[in-house]
Structures are given as C-alpha cells and as structure tokens.
Amino acid sequence: MKKNSGIIFFALLLLTMCAQGQSPKTNNNQTIHMNWNPLTPEEEQVIVHKGTERPYTGEYLNNESKGLYLCKRCDAPLYRSDDKFDAHCGWPSFDDEVEGAVKRVLDADGRRTEIICNNCGAHLGHVFLGEGFTPKQTRHCVNSISLKFQPAENKTLKRVYFASGCFWGTEYFFMKAPGVKETNVGFMGGHVENPTYAQVCEKNTGHLETTEVIFDGTETSYEAMVKLFFETHDFTQTDGQGPDIGPQYLSCIFYNDETEKGIAEKYIRLLTEKGYRVATMLKPASRFWKAEDYHQQYYEHKGAKPYCHKYTPIF
C-alpha cells in the first residue's frame, strides 16, 4: 500500500505542477518536457552536455538556402538565414538572432559567453564580439547539430523519394540531375523510430535505404525523376542491388499522392512492354529518417563514383 500511495501522491504532484504552469524536475535538476523532440546520443552530447561538434562537419555550415533555423530540441525559431555569414571558423555563424530567442550565459571559467535556447536551455554554442566580420560586430558560433532548418516556402519545390540500393549511388545521380536543388539520404518504410545506419544494416528494421530528392517543378518534372530512377539501377534484381544484398537495398518508389503513383505505374508498364521483369515496389511515402552526416553526398566528398549504380539509357 505504501508503494501505491507514493505513486498516487507523485501523480497528483505532477498534475498540480502542470496546472500551475510548472515543469517537474529529475534528480539532476533537468527539466522534463513532454513536448520536446527526442535526441540522438550525438545530439544529446552537444545540446544537453554542452559538447562541440567537430569543425567543418556540420550539416548547415555551407547551407545558403533561405529559411529559418530552429532549436533542434524544442523547435523554437532562433536565427534567420539573412543573418548567416561565413566566418571561416568551421561552424555556422550568425550576426543576429530572432528577438528574445537566445540567452547569453557566462562560462564557468569566465572566458567565453555561452549561448542557449531561451525556450528550453539547449546549448547552441558561443557568442563573440568585436571581431569585425560584419557591421554588427557579433558572431554567434553555433553547432549545426543544435539546429533544425526550415526552408522558406517555395511552392515550386517538390520532395520525392526513391530507393534503389545503396543510397550513396542513388544520390550520386540525382544530385547531378538538372532541376534538382537538394538531396538527402536516409531511411523509409520501416517500423523503428529514428534508425541508425548500423540498425538498418542488421536487416530487421524494415527500412529501405532511401534518397530524398528536392527538385524545382519549373525546371524539371516528376516523370524525369522516375526515368532517371529506372535508368540508374537494375530494377529487375529481387534481392538487393549489385553486390549489396539485403532487404534494405530493394528497389522502391515511395509516392506522395495518386498522381505520383500513376506516373510510376505508367513507367513500370512501359518497361514491362519492353520485356523487363520489373521488381520495383510502389509504396506510399512515410516518415523519412535522415542518415548520419557522413553518409550525405558521400561520393561527392570522396571524389569517387558508384560501384553498383550506372546510367543506362532506356526511354
């Protein structure tokens, strides 16, 4: 009875605190907030434990797209793309923040000034003054891993998803296609939340290695994307792609709507009429989980070419 009484008391305490606008605390005095986004161990190391990502490795270092940078943990708006500049320091730099979004806290050693999200306290990086980079004489040096980028709305941009074996090779061809503005590699179609590459390689998460392709509909078309998909891999292979064998390497088009599905079906029908036995699956698009940073634009950074993908004109 004592255990049950304690549980009931704690539950009532939580309800009372929430009703009073308070947040319950853990034993180490960290705030529990049910609406915060879950963090990976790497994100937690920086955002919670105030670590620093390696210079020149962050996702947003060279991002020049227009939009808004949000807090990775709570989605609060922090920085505008118009305030971003290149400080050649290895981390994204901003000379201003969204008003009231960033709090400055002196480091324990008194040598630097930390910047944190004013909404949830997430560690962002440090701020430096008087360096002369911009007229505002301010540099917010921010870890990419602490941020989430929200592109400015552009109704001509389309996001589509293709799986055709190792996502390094799939992305290699799409990122070079006319009209494509951005590509990302990751995972789709499985049952595990926020899977890692290692988990997917165990072949029991249900995910396929997938490439997200963002293209401008005024410069190219979904049909062109589907043609490129079929012309850059062996869509008749049923156990993987090339030497990469496993369920995560199967051929699949993840469609966003019935229009995309119809176009995909049209080209599968055309290929069948040409005598091909098409193994490509069609599935509705689901949550796209972005892979670790070192997988993004892999062949571009390596200065190499795919070993299991090649371009073969068909249409």
The list of the chain residues with pLDDT below 70 reads 1-34
Active-site positions read 141, 166
The whole-number pLDDT of residue 300 equals: 86
- pTM for this one? 0.59
Residue 171 neighbours by CB under 8 Å, 6+ apart: 183, 184, 185, 211, 296, 297, 298, 299
The whole-number pLDDT of residue 33 equals: 57
Domains (range + CATH), the chain: 41-151 (2.170.150.20), 157-302 (3.30.1060.10)
The whole-number pLDDT of residue 21 equals: 38
- Tokens 């699956």 locate to 281
The whole-number pLDDT of residue 23 equals: 42
The whole-number pLDDT of residue 96 equals: 96
Host H or E run for residue 280: none
pLDDT tens, 84-114?
A: 999 999 999 999 999 999 999 999 888 999 9
